């Protein structure tokens, strides 16, 4: 699992909104683990122009609009 190239490269491919969402999610997880406990919810819908509307809720909500053509393949 640790050597799976699709997992390790997930945040490096894709468009800028996708990369920003991945970086924010990692930051939320690390902050929660350092604190000792946390709760996080992730939801997604398809919005205008076939964009993926990704919402990460962890104390605050963070919304990202990711164009379909910028998703990693």
Residue 73 lies in a domain: no
- pTM assigned to the model: 0.76
User: Which residues constitute the domain of residue 14?
Assistant: 5-68
Nearest to 66 by CA among 38, 45, 39, 35: 45
pLDDT interval class at 1 (50, 70, 90): very low
The Cα 19–Cα 67 span in angstroms is 12
Q: What is the pLDDT of residues 23-68, one digit of tens each?
A: 999 999 999 999 998 999 999 999 999 999 999 999 899 999 999 9
| Tally of domains within the chain | 1
The tokens describing 7, both together, are 């997992």
Which residues lie across from 63 on neighbouring strands?
Answer: 55
Residue 64 lies in a domain: yes
């Amino acid at each position: 699992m640790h050597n799976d190239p699709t997992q390790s490269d997930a945040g490096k491919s894709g468009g800028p909104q996708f990369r920003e969402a991945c970086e924010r999610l990692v930051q939320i997880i690390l902050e929660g683990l350092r604190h000792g406990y946390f709760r996080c919810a992730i939801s997604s819908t398809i919005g205008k122009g076939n964009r993926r509307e990704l919402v990460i809720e962890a104390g605050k909500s963070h919304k990202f609009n990711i164009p379909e053509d910028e998703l990693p393949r």
